[in-house]
Amino acid sequence: MSSANILIVDDEKDIRELVGEILADEGYRVETVDSGQHARLAVDESDFDLVLLDIWMPDVDGISLLKEWGQGGKLPFQVVMISGHGTVDTAVEATRLGAFDFVEKPLSTAKLLKTVEQALADRANRRDTTTLKDRLPEVVEPVGVSAAMRDLREQLDRLSSSEPAVLIRGESGSGKSTLARYLHAHSPRRQKRLVEVSGATLKANAERELFGFEDGDEVVSGKLEQAHGGTLFIDEVNELDTDLQRSLAAAIDTRSYRRVRGTENLPLDVRLICCTRADLEAEIRLGRFREDLYYQISVVPLVVPPLRERPEDVPELLSFYTDFFASRDKMPWRRFSVGAQNRLRNHHWGGNVHELRNLVQRLMLLGNGEEVGVDEIDQALAASGVAGSVSVPVRIYEMPLREAREQFEREYLEFQLRQVSGSVGRLAKNVGMERTHLYRKLRALGIDVRKTGQKG
């Protein structure tokens, strides 16, 4: 998905540059234009998977362009509208004309990235004709020979034939989303939709996004309505704000809800699967999570153990991802020596299964020879910054305070970037910064995300 071509159409230079940098850092190919006329030319000359289209521009408004591009009855690419204050009604009209969604100014980085991801996923799902073995399997049985994983698979098998609400706990990267998709795919609701939403992105217009809304003749369905008859998967459920928690708890309790500004009660017919890496009992004690909602969503709790607690699963995971990348991406197949496997069995795996998967992909892509040895493993771990450490140079004490602070922030963020292999999303979580602020900080410090993330 990261190879997708995206066109940004906005007459505001700051927005074009900021959104362009954010998407480029996520691996997308990006082109920007400043007017409707230039957008027409760009679309004529290049193939795009997604167009981020501003509604109000001096020459041609976004709605007119949307109508032009959809004259054949179907848009040739996904369109996400960018709307300013007071243009929500117009943005809703755009969705009726074929736009996938809209994001409001001022832009939320998390909302933008999630919407882009969903739009591209929707496009891929509609046009994808490849076989399951040639693409990343969205439904994978949890891999592992450990007693913990055997128990987890047994629990999943028992839950597959029933429909209780499930709460999946585990550290970041442990595979919680994989379990949620597996549960849905083996449930009685598998013929209906699995709708995914992240509590971290449900900030602005959260009630509308979850419950939908009505405005006169305009009716927009929310996530609950889209998942009717199927499964609603809420990732990072601990991030829901308290008002949304209250509304969701009431909907679960009455098995019904209303759209925002709506007057009709709609039936709630979804299976709820939630994930979190937080201690919800502690969140309840701190007043940040509702106790009634906790018991409603955790009828059956599942715990995914961190990879460092089940090192016997490492060899099987290495084999699984080696075969997977060789099949999907046509990479040269490589095997891990016994010494390399033992080295990785003893690795801390702070990023859990996601870290292992990324390591295998990097070794298959950049390595030489059929066998991966211990030396290559050590070099790869060192290059990712996992084995590194931060030290404050003596010269920093000789600088003025402002320069010293900037120097430390630069070295600190560069080190953290190497640890997460250039992933700004993971970096934001690790350092506790909102993505928009983080991007501005990186730019202010002159840090090139892509280059820094590749350094050893």
What's the pLDDT score for residue 400?
A: 64
CB 36 within 8 A of CB 57: yes
Looking at the domain assignment, is residue 218 inside a domain?
yes
CB 312 within 8 A of CB 344: no
C-alpha–C-alpha distance, residues 16 and 4, integer Å = 17
Average pLDDT, whole number, for the chain?
84
Q: Are 24 and 121 within one domain?
A: yes
CB 102 within 8 A of CB 81: yes
Q: Are 278 and 354 within one domain?
A: no
Q: Are 291 and 337 within one domain?
A: no
Residue 82's CATH number: 3.40.50.2300
Q: What is the pTM of this model?
A: 0.56
Q: Are 195 and 243 within one domain?
A: yes
Structure token digits, residue 9 = 């159409």
Residue 286's CATH number: 3.40.50.300
* Least confident stretch, 193-202, 281-290, 311-320: 193-202
Mean local confidence (pLDDT), 176-190: 90
Q: Are 207 and 295 within one domain?
A: yes
What's the pLDDT score for residue 354?
A: 87
Residue 373's CATH number: 1.10.8.60
Residue where the block lists tokens 């979850």: 210
Structure token digits, residue 270 = 């979804």
Looking at the domain assignment, is residue 88 inside a domain?
yes
Mean local confidence (pLDDT), 69-96: 75
What pLDDT digit, counting tens, does each position of 271-303 carry? 999 999 889 999 999 999 999 999 999 999 999
Q: Which domain-ending residue is among 127, 145, 177?
A: 127
Q: Are 298 and 184 within one domain?
A: yes
Q: Are 213 and 259 within one domain?
A: yes
What pLDDT digit, counting tens, does each position of 369-380 carry? 889 999 999 888
Looking at the domain assignment, is residue 107 inside a domain?
yes
The stretches of 97-193 forming alpha helices (DSSP H) are 109-127, 147-160, 176-185
Tally the domains of the chain: 4
Q: How far is CA 335 from CA 56, 360, 367, in A?
A: 55, 10, 11
What pLDDT digit, counting tens, does each position of 9-68 carry? 999 999 999 999 999 888 899 999 999 989 988 888 888 999 999 988 888 888 889 888
Q: Which range of residues forms the domain containing residue 197?
A: 160-304
Structure token digits, residue 385 = 């910054």
Q: Are 281 and 214 within one domain?
A: yes
Mean local confidence (pLDDT), 406-412: 79
Q: Are 201 and 218 within one domain?
A: yes
Structure token digits, residue 422 = 């250039």
Q: How far is CA 255 from CA 226, 259, 370, in A?
A: 16, 14, 56
